[in-house]
Amino acid sequence: MKKLLVYLREYRRESILGPLFKLLEASFELIVPLVVAAIIDRGIGNADRGYIVRMCLVLVALGLIGLVCSVTAQYFAAKASVGFVKKLRHVLYEHIQGFSYQTLDNIGISTLITRMTSDMNQVQTGLNLTLRLLLRSPFVVFGAMIMAFTVDARAALWFVAAIPILSIVVFGIMLVSIPLYKKVQGQLDRVLGKTRENLTGVRVIRAFGKEDAEIADFESNNESLTAMQKHVGRISALMNPITYVIINLAILFLIRTGALRVEAGIITQGAVVALYNYMSQILVELIKLANLIINITKSIACGKRIQAVLDIPAGEKVNEELPSGDASFRVEFRGAGLRYAGAGGEALSGVDLRVRPGETVGVIGGTGSGKSTLVQMIPRFYEATEGQVLVNGRDVRSYAPEDLRRRIGVVPQKAMLFKGTIRENLLWGNAAAADEELLHAAALAQAEDVLAAKGGLDGKIEQNGRNLSGGQRQRLTIARALVRKPEILILDDSSSALDFATDAALRRALRSLDGNPTVFIVSQRTSSIQHADQIVVLDEGTVAGIGTHDELLKNCSVYREIYDSQFRKEGAQA
């Protein structure tokens, strides 16, 4: 949590002025019991109405000054806490953007969402309360005790007895609560993860009639979270009644002692009232302090969770000392393989492949055979755990990630578009591209009809392209990659929603691309890759064959089986 406070530097002034004005407010509050005692002893005791009116005006003035100080303190505390969390949220978001696919898989999306929302809000609340109350409450508690000694030292000894006992109760409950709040936040992660799964997969859940099972699973997780929150809530709830009991017992002994000393003529009735008011102030402030400690405890736990994400290294390390290869090959795999974190076996192993500039490589295989894994190793979304992957003769691990990915255009399996215009989405490929380049890329991607239907480049796109069909989304994502004019173009099963005629037209357009790019086409259809210069056939994470369409039909049983299974469906079109 301490590491996060570096982001509070920009708000040093607010962080100082907020507590300072709260201390001023508390100082005026400590004067009030003395004024009330004076009204009782001199005003009421002597039936001096003028004095009573003057002292009442003093009370009003103290109240107004305290109000101004309180509002000012709240302004500075709010400005510091909101600004701090805004800065921290930006830093965390930027840090997350640097995570590799593998890191994101390990952490979990739901966990990151919790850090960005719930944990951030708790840290903001905790900091706000800390700036306003952390100094004020102890100041009032000890200030009231000191002021009580100025009124009557003998009666004030009850303050000395009550405050340590109250401190033991408050800090004891705090020490028990801290680890429990950590567990609550962890369970909250699991509930959010289940919620995200259900929202993302709602169509699948309905298709298989699993609503009741998912509801039961969610309720189970939610009940577990509720039980944990109730448990820690019961412990935290002990604080108020215990502190009330201790304070009220102290007040009873204080009044008894004061009454005896008033009867003996040692102190006045106003002094007893002042002592009672000081004890009441201590009660109120200790309850505030107890609630503050609970909030600080939660905030510290949330802050540590945020810091844990910031401590995870972002980005991929650059190692320029790795052995190089033949620069005449655009892409080269040397015994490359990948094992996902926590997986029981290799997702891909023993891949040897050389691809020259301008060549088209088809990648085909059954579900789970490692097709996406193979192409995701080229831009280093996932890092090879064995062997090497080289681009232009250099190991991909020797490139800065930005430099490597500038050379590559990737169209992932899931066509992802963002809310905005078609132009804004296409400019993701190249922010400096002119409209002519955008239109040319759209034409190559067979997306001209999409632009015509939506009103050109200024046509609106909803979040995730909800107002587009699957094929329209895929063509626009292909156009976005083509705008970059990449050296390497990766189409990861990105034409699955296209009809055969559009798919064929797209393949012809790709063969006419300027700049001699190398193209990787991952597909389930043999018709989409049969004209490729090389076809890589994968089977359960290993290479079953590499060659042209005709060669593989003769020599690779896996490819022949895939082709035969589709031939009856594709016959004429293939």
Tokens read off for 479: 């156009």
Query: 366: alpha, beta or left, given left = phi > 0 and alpha = psi -120 to 50?
Result: beta
What is the percent of the chain with per-residue pLDDT over 90, rounded to a whole number? 44
Does residue 258 have a pLDDT over 60? Answer: yes
Choose between 2 and 206: higher pLDDT: 206
Nearest to 496 by CA among 477, 514, 483, 510: 477
CA distance 178 to 420: 44
> For residue 237, what pLDDT is reported?
82
The first and second tokens of residue 137, run together, are 């409450």
Q: What is the pLDDT of residue 343?
A: 73
pLDDT of residue 425: 93
| Least confident span in 236-240, 365-369, 408-412, 537-541 | 236-240
Does residue 573 register a pLDDT over 50? Answer: no
Confidence (pLDDT) at 195: 87
**pLDDT, position 307:** 92
217 vs 228: CA distance, rounded Å: 17
Residue 82: predicted pLDDT: 95
∠ CA(492), CA(508), CA(359), 5° rounding?
60
Report the C-alpha gap between 67 and 562 in whole angstroms: 79
Q: What is the mean pLDDT of the chain?
A: 88
- Compare 476 and 110 and report the one with higher pLDDT: 476
Q: What three-state secondary structure class fits 395?
A: strand
Set out the domains of the chain in order of their start, with CATH numbers: 2-310 (1.20.1560.10), 331-570 (3.40.50.300)
Q: What's the confidence (pLDDT) of residue 332?
A: 95
What average pLDDT score do residues 331-344 get? 87
pLDDT attached to residue 461: 92
Compare 376 and 342 and report the one with higher pLDDT.
376
β partners of residue 430: none
pLDDT score recorded for residue 411: 92
pLDDT digits (tens, 9 = 90+) for 179-191: 887 788 778 878 8
Closest among 291, 311, 267, 458 to 4, alpha carbons compared: 311
pLDDT band at 566 (very low <50, low <70, confident <90, very high): confident
Most confident of 74-83, 366-375, 564-573: 74-83
Which range is least confidently modeled, 35-49, 73-87, 173-187, 350-364? 173-187
457 pLDDT band, cuts 50/70/90, is: very high
Of the ranges 161-175, 228-242, 408-422, the best mean pLDDT one: 408-422
Q: What residue spans of 8-119 are helical by DSSP H?
A: 12-38, 49-97, 101-107, 109-114
Q: CB-based contacts of 386: which residues, under 8 Å, 6+ apart?
A: 335, 336, 337, 338, 339, 346, 349
Average pLDDT over residues 110-132: 90
pLDDT at 159: 79
> Percentage of the chain surpassing pLDDT 70?
98
pLDDT band for position 432 (cuts 50, 70, 90): very high
Report the distance separating Cα 510 and Cα 475, nearest Å: 13
**Stretch 461-477: mean pLDDT:** 90
For 268-306, what is each residue's pLDDT tens digit?
888 888 888 888 888 788 778 777 877 887 888 889 889
Structure tokens at 84: 């701090």
pLDDT of the residue at 556: 92
> Is the model's pLDDT at 236 over the cut of 90?
no
Measure the CA–CA gap between 376 and 372, rounded to whole angstroms: 6
Asked whether the beta carbons of 527 and 446 are under 8 A apart, the reply is no
**Residue pair 96/109 in contact by the 8 Å Cβ criterion:** no
pLDDT band at 104 (very low <50, low <70, confident <90, very high): confident
Give the pLDDT confidence score for residue 107 in this predicted structure.
85
Confidence of residue 1 (pLDDT cuts 50, 70, 90): low
SS3 letters for 320-340?
Answer: CCCCCCCCCCCEEEEEEEECC
Provide the pLDDT confidence category of residue 574 given band limits of 50, 70 and 90. Answer: very low
Contact between residue 495 and residue 506 where contact means Cβ atoms under 8 Å apart: yes
d(CA 174, CA 297): 7
Average pLDDT over residues 536-547: 93
Looking at per-residue pLDDT, the higher value among 103 and 539 belongs to 539
Q: Which of 492, 562, 500 is nearest to 523 (CA)?
A: 492
Tell me what pLDDT residue 568 has.
57
Q: Is the pLDDT reported for residue 572 higher than 60?
A: no
Map tokens 């069909």 to a residue.
Answer: 469
Burial of 239 (0-12, 13-18, 19+ CB in 10 A): buried
DSSP state of 41: I
